[in-house]
Amino acid sequence: MPSLLRGALSALLLALNTLFWSSLVFAGALVKLLLPFHAARRRIDPLLDAFARGWVACNSAWMRWLLPTQWDAEGADGLERAGWYLVNCNHQSWVDIFALQHVLHGRIPLLKFFLKQQLIYVPVIGLAWWALDFPFMRRHGKSELRRRPELRAQDQEATLRACRKFSRAPTSVMNFVEGTRFTPGKHGAQASPYKHLLKPKAGAFALTLNAMGERFNSLLDATIVYPQGVPSFWDFLCGRAPRIVVRLRQLPIPEGFAASDYASDPAFRRRFQRWLAALWEEKDRQVDELLHAAARA
Determine which of 137-146, 191-200, 209-218 has the lowest per-residue pLDDT on average: 137-146
**Beta strand residue intervals within the chain, DSSP E:** 70-74, 85-89, 111-113, 115-116, 136-137, 172-175, 218-225, 243-251
Please, are residues 21 and 126 in contact by the beta-carbon 8 Å criterion? Answer: no
- The stretch 82-109 carries a mean pLDDT of 93
pLDDT of residue 132: 82
For residue 110, give every residue at least 6 positions away whose Cβ sits within 8 Å of its Cβ, in sequence order, or none.
49, 52, 53, 56, 132, 171, 172
Domains and CATH numbers, the chain: 70-296 (3.40.1130)
pLDDT of residue 113: 82
**Rounded distance between C-alpha atoms, residue 73 and residue 284, angstroms:** 18
Residue 146 banded pLDDT, cuts 50, 70, 90: low
Beta-bridged to residue 225, according to DSSP, are 245
Q: In what order do the strands lie in the sheet with 172-175?
A: 70-74, 243-251, 218-225, 85-89, 172-175, 111-113
For residue 118, give every residue at least 6 positions away whose Cβ sits within 8 Å of its Cβ, in sequence order, or none.
none
Instruction: Calculate the average pLDDT of the chain.
Output: 87
Distances (CA, A) of 194 to 221, 223, 288: 17, 14, 10
Determine which of 4-13, 162-171, 215-224, 266-275 has the lowest per-residue pLDDT on average: 162-171
Residue 61 banded pLDDT, cuts 50, 70, 90: very high
